Structure 1
């Protein structure tokens, strides 16, 4: 198996890949980026918390134009993972409205987004449909 690194710092790889958010100690708001203070309440104390690996599509768009080198079309979605909003692409589903819908059940998955010249894989996350 090739060496792997996460594409984003809030993706934890291993036997059960998952996302880790930073939760505000004051109000419980969750963020995936670095924060000096909570945007909701101003608190400066955060704790890492694992995010549910399954969720429901709350919003989506089918992207047909992107930066050079980014394959299109693809589905970008907002997924509710047990109360935490996560932005990610849907994978393993055709990018058309006949195959994607609001309320669709999905699960976190990982895939190799690219490999560098030394053979190290950059692993990203997405969400795949869950069979009903």
Structure 2
């Protein structure tokens, strides 16, 4: 299998792809970027990695109809609640149509290839697809 690299540092690939947030040791606020101090409580005691669930709830969404040159439109983007952690991502495997999307619908993390460089390394991105238990 050709090598794959995640597009963002907080995407973990493998048999069970998932996202990892940085959780404040004092107030448990979660972030996806590197921080020296917590933006929620101001603590500088540090952060721990916490794996997020693969399933969540779509809280809100928009259908994007105008984008930068070369970006195909329309597409749907949303905010997903993963057990209390908000994640912004595109909605995939569903038509970008408000009749197909609704706040409160269950979604599941999915990964996909974004392109391969001349060395055969594929960049992997993530989105959320509708999911019912």
Structure-2 residue corresponding to 1:71: 72
What does the per-residue CA deviation read over 1:3-40, in whole Å, with 9 as the maximum and x for residues that have no partner? 10000000000000000000001111000011111111
Query: When the two structures are aligned, how many residues end up with a matched partner?
Result: 132
Distance 2:26 2:132 in 1: 37
What does the per-residue CA deviation read over 1:31-85, in whole Å, with 9 as the maximum and x for residues that have no partner? 0011111111111210000011100100111111111221111111000011111
Structure 2: which 5+ runs fail to align?
none
What are the within-5 Å matches in structure 2 for residues 93-132 of structure 1? 93-131=94-132
Structure 1 residue 131: Cα displacement = 3.0
Structure-2 residue corresponding to 1:61: 62
In structure 2, the residue corresponding to 1:89 is in which secondary structure? Answer: strand
- Report the TM-score when normalising by structure 1: 0.96
- Report the TM-score when normalising by structure 2: 0.96
Distance 1:117 1:100 in 2: 37
Moved over 3 A (4+): none
Distance 1:11 1:68 in 2: 26
Distance 1:36 1:69 in 2: 36
CA RMSD of aligned residues (A): 0.9
Distance 2:127 2:106 in 1: 13
